[in-house]
Each structure stands twice: as C-alpha cells, then as structure tokens.
Amino acid sequence: MYPRTHPIAVDDVEAWLDAHAITWVRTDGITVDGLVVGKHLHRAKFLNALPAGNAISEIVYGMDLGGAAHFSWWPRWRRDALGDFVQRPDLSTLRAVPGRAGVASVMVEHHDLEGAPIPVCPRACLRSVIDQVSAAGYRVLAAFELEGMLFADPLPVARRKGFRNLTPMSHPAPIGYSNFNAAQLAPFFDQLLPRLDALGIAIEGWHDEAAPGQFELNFAPTDALTAADSIVRTKQAIRELCLDLGHTATFMAKPSDAYGNGLHVHHSLRAIEDGTPVLLDDDGDMSALMRHWLGGIVATMPAATSILLPTINSYRRLVGWAAAPTTATWAEDNKSTGVRVLTRSPSSARIEHRLAGGDANPYLVLATVLAGGLAGLTDGDAPPPALTVSGWGLPDGWPHLPSAIRPASDLLERDARLRTYLGDDLVDHWVESRKWEWLMFHTTGGDPTAATVTDWELARSFELA
C-alpha cells in the first residue's frame, strides 16, 4: 500500500486552503529529541512565506526535554549568535486537522537562512538516507508498530499524581490480546481511527497489549518518509483526542514496572526500475542482497542502540522475558531476537527491527536501520548464524546490547560506518545530547541507584515521549 498523498503546487495552495475553509496552518517540525515544534500561521502569512517557509528560532535545537538550554557544545552548523532557522513545508503533507475547524497542518524540515537543510534535522536526515538507498537502486517500503498506554485520568490529575497510580483504560492485569480489554479501549479508538483516516494514515489493525491500558497500532506499509510522518501525526492525534475527552496517553518507554512501549519497524526493498521485491531469490531463499543488508543491520545494532533508545528511561525496557530484545541477534520469525526476518512470500518478505522504544524519534530510527543496511550492502557483510533459541537469558559471551545511555552513545561515536550514512554532524550532535541527558539525570534530581522508574524520568518523558 502506498500513501494517500495530496501533492499541491505552490500556486495551488491558496485554492486548497479555500476548498477546506482553512484560516490557520500549523507547522509541524521534529527536533532531535522527537519534540513536535512549530507555529500557528495565519493563512496569509503561510502563503506569503512559500516556498521557503517562515522562520523559527534555532533554540528548538538547543534545548532539552526539560526545557533547559544546553550551551556546553556549539556545533559548526549553528551561527555564533542565536538566530533563526526556516521551516520549509512539504506541501504533499498539507492536511486539514480533524477536530479543529479551519486549521490545517503541514510537515516541515528545518533549513538555514541560505536554504540548506540543517544537518541534524531528523526528517531531512531520513530523506538523505532514502536518497542514498535510491542511489543504490532501491526503494524502501516501511511500516511501524506503535505501542502506547491510555489512562482514564485527565492530564491535570495525572500531573498532580506525578504520573503514578493512574487508572488504565483496561483491566489492571498484564494480559495481552484481550478482547475484553479491547472492548474498553474501543470507544477511544472509534473516535481516533476516523481522525487518522482523515489525515491519510492507513491502519491495518490494533489490539490490546500486555501492560494495563496498553495498545498497539499496526500501520500499513508505505514509503519511508510517510511512514515516519504517520507516527508523529498519530501520536499528536492520540494526545489531542485525550485532551478532548479528558484522558491521558503516554509513549514513554517504561513508565512503570509493567511491559514497556516499543516502536517496531518493518521494511523491505524494491528495485527502482521495475518495483520487483529483492529480498528473496528465485528459489524463495534470502537473496545475497538481503544477507548483506541484514548483516549490516545486525553488525551496527549495538551502536544504533543509542538512537533507538534515546533516554535514560529507554534502557529500563531492556529486560529479559519482557518483549524487548537484549541481544544483537536475528532469526526467522523469532520475537526474542533484535531483528526478526519474515520470508513467507516474495511480496511480504521483510525485516522487522524490534529494538526501538516508543519514545524514539521515528525519522532517526528508520534512518539508522537503513544506514546499517547500506553499510552491510557496501561492505558485503554476512549475518551471523540465526539464533535458534530464546534471545533472553543468554550468558556472557553472547552479543548483548549496551544497557545504559552513555555506553550506547560511546559505541555510536566510534561507529564509522553509521557515520558514513547519517553524517558526522548528526552523530556528533546526538552523542553530545546524550551526554547532556546523562548529566541532567545526575545533577537535576535523578537517582542513579534506583532500580525502577524515577520521578525525574516521569516528569521529563511521560507527556513528551
């Protein structure tokens, strides 16, 4: 399935706004930490700024999830004085916002005043990696699985409780796939799904997940950029509907001792020239291309962990026997491995990367997974033997993933192959920002001795992850 896009020429935007009775346009840009930032622009201002887009302060790339500005490093792409970036709109993403009459939204990428993409703009980074895959002769088809949690409490009440002891929108026992739980979630989804449909987001299914109040949404496959856009817009739609109905949602990786929230990503490759699937050979076995691609993904997985698990809290999800992978392993249809391969037919053959948390930036997740594949394809990597046992509970000597934010960022900093495709600027900025996140935890109220989620983590990530 491919995206239901609405490409609009600059000269036709005003007519589109008229046809949809739009007065205000909300710009949606994504920071490195995954925050959705932008402005509400009157239509006249939006139109006058096309095609370059209007300005936004570059401080959006200089503050953390807690709102603190970080000045401990100053990358080369920032000017010496604080100034502006430009929000360049992707007009193919212009949509009327469901539930908000007269308001449209558009996805933007951040450029400098000369019109060049900011090298750490996540959406621009993914676009760059997609272009590199295209240069190799392939097109990416991708689909995410998004996990989140719904609570009956209104957001102000949840804040007063410190996001603890909330009332899940389902039975409190950790039972997955329960249709009784789904029935309790259904009134919410009955209102959510039409909003997603109005945004052009195709959902293949949803179900109750294992933690109290937890759900999983399965997205239809589409092009890589649209797949990541869909996660950002779906999270927004869920949060906005919660505000309308007086509920609370979170995508925090591990908000309690229950199962955590993941963001699995499936992808496959098609030949650009004729659209042929290329992961299997004529005999239905893994093609040489797939083996190299898979080998690169597994080999770079320890370093990729830093981007796929972005926060202090992310690593609390890496617990054996609790659904999240703990090793850089792969297998055919083995959900305990870091990478799961499905090869039942050429048209559905795909690679599922299971490591990312629900708090991860979807653009950077997909860019990093594809970068690993490109590295393997370029260098002719071979995958290690498939794991034939459970990936959990394995002793020392197995390829365990880093279990904390600093060891993971150290691995990424040293990984020359991911740097090749993600770019030095993105990797360097990411590594510095993870050092900052570690520093904030240790100096502004976090408890490094705590074995479970801390109040600091809940205050920082529950609403914004």
Report which residue type is found at 290.
Answer: M
In tens, the pLDDT along 182-224 reads: 999 999 999 999 999 999 999 999 999 999 999 999 999 999 9
Contact assessment for residue 256 and residue 453, using Cβ atoms and an 8 Å cutoff: yes
Residue 5 has pLDDT above 80, yes or no: no
Quote the radius of gyration of the chain (alpha carbons, Å).
Answer: 21
The superfamily (CATH) of domain 130-461 is Glutamine synthetase/guanido kinase, catalytic domain (3.30.590.10)
Residues in the chain: 465
pLDDT at 7 > cutoff 80: no
Mean pLDDT for 126-149 is: 98
Stretch 219-239: mean pLDDT: 98
Q: What is the mean pLDDT of residues 86-106?
A: 97
CATH 3.30.590.10: which residues of the chain? 130-461
Q: Which residues pair with 222 in a beta bridge?
A: 142
Examine residue 187 and say whether the peptide bond preceding it is cis (omega within 30 degrees of 0): no
Cα distances from 304 to residues 127, 134, 413, 438, in angstroms, run 18, 22, 10, 18
Rounded mean pLDDT of 227-249? 98
* Sign of the C-alpha dihedral computed for residues 172, 235, 23 and 5 taken in this order: negative
Looking at residue 402, what DSSP letter applies?
P
* 3-state SS assignment for residue 225: helix
Can you tell me the mean pLDDT for 23-52? 97
Residue 335: how many CB atoms within 10 A of its CB?
A: 13
Residue 111, both tokens: 């450029």
Angle ∠(205,323,174) on CA atoms, nearest 5: 75
Give the mean pLDDT of 335-351: 93
Encode pLDDT of 411-437 as tens digits: 999 999 999 999 999 999 999 999 999
116-140 mean pLDDT: 98
Sign of CA dihedral 272, 277, 281, 282: negative
**pLDDT score recorded for residue 207:** 97
Burial class of residue 71, CB neighbours in 10 A (0-12, 13-18, 19+)? exposed
Class level of CATH domain 10-116: alpha beta
Q: What is the pLDDT of residues 66-79, one digit of tens each?
A: 999 987 888 888 88
Sequence ranges of the chain with CATH classification 3.10.20.70: 10-116
Q: Calculate what percentage of the chain has a pLDDT beyond 70.
A: 99
pLDDT digits (tens, 9 = 90+) for 365-409: 999 999 999 999 999 999 999 999 999 999 988 999 999 999 999
pLDDT above 70 for 6 = no
Q: Are the C-beta atoms of 351 and 293 separated by less than 8 Å?
A: yes
Cα–Cα dist 35/62, whole Å:
12
Residue 267 reports pLDDT greater than 80 = yes
Which residues make beta-bridge pairs with 24?
42, 103
Quote the CA–CA distance of 30 and 263 in Å, as a whole number.
Answer: 17
| Across 49-63, 68-82, 163-177, least confident range | 68-82
Which residue, 85, 122, 29, is CA-closest to 433? 122
Query: Which helix (H) or strand (E) is 249 found in, with range?
Result: strand 248-250
Give the distance, in angstroms, between the CA of residue 351 and the centroid of all CA atoms in the same chain: 17
Q: What percent of the chain has pLDDT over 90?
A: 90
The kind and range of the H/E element at 433 are helix 424-443
Amino acid at 264: H
